[in-house]
Amino acid sequence: MTEQSTGRRLVTNMALSLDGHYAAPDNPLDMSWVMPYAMTDVARDHLTSLWEPATTALLGRVNAEGFLGFWPSVIGMEGADPRDEGFAKWLVETDKTVLSSALDKAPWERTTIVNKPTVEAVADLKATEGGDILVLSSASVIKALLAADEVDRLALTIFPVFLGGGPRLFDDGLPTKRWTLVSQTAGEHGTLALVYDRVR
């Protein structure tokens, strides 16, 4: 693999329950447990701090359909929080790479469909000019990047709820590496936002 020419950071963001799961055991697509906490100042400010320096969004197909099916409707919505509207505009207007073997062409603007292993797709993105590459809550993508030690910044929001089971973000067998805490913020409902940088 060639040396990276640009130094673009690969940043991942994921919401986790206090007992370490990113989805409920009975219905992985049900994110209702997230909603009371995602609307807090801590969660909104956390997400804003991640997308503002990013110029590329990287998503798996399922998350792309969820995010791009919902967020554009927030633009111009009456009573929308300005931070939510800011994120929605960024998501629509930024370059998006969606990893998928099922889609032939993108149903969304400014979107490239890539059918190759996650690590290869990220290497291609890192070889281009731009700001941060932000992976938005796509667990399969984040897990592959953690396993390959490709994550430069790991952002987590911890919500004070036990899901009692379900898939975990951190599988056994990850590379034994060190991380440094960049920021920590606690807020209403016990929401906790954490950002770690990989020590290289």
The whole-angstrom separation of Cα 133 and Cα 138 is 13
**H-assigned helices in the chain:** 35-38, 41-51, 61-70, 82-93, 118-126, 139-147
Residue 124, pLDDT score: 96
The whole-angstrom separation of Cα 65 and Cα 56 is 17
Confidence tier at 6 by pLDDT (50, 70, 90) = low
Residue 137, pLDDT score: 93
Residue 46 neighbours by CB under 8 Å, 6+ apart: 155, 157, 185, 193, 195
Q: Which amino acid is at 140?
A: S
Residue 167 neighbours by CB under 8 Å, 6+ apart: 21, 22, 23, 28, 139
Residue listed under structure tokens 């997400």: 47
- pTM of the complete model: 0.93
Q: Which amino acid is at 26?
A: D
Residue 104, pLDDT score: 86
SS3 (DSSP) at 33: coil
The whole-angstrom separation of Cα 27 and Cα 188 is 26
Residue 30, pLDDT score: 85
Per-domain residue ranges for the chain? 10-198
Domain 10-198 has CATH 3.40.430.10: yes
Is the confidence at residue 21, as pLDDT, over 50? yes
Phi, psi of 52 (to 5 degrees): -60, -40
In whole numbers, what is the pLDDT of the chain averaged over residues? 93
- Residue 173 Cα to chain centre, angstroms: 22
The whole-angstrom separation of Cα 131 and Cα 56 is 7
Residue 155, token pair as written in the block: 């952002």
pLDDT digits (tens, 9 = 90+) for 43-64: 999 999 999 999 999 999 999 9
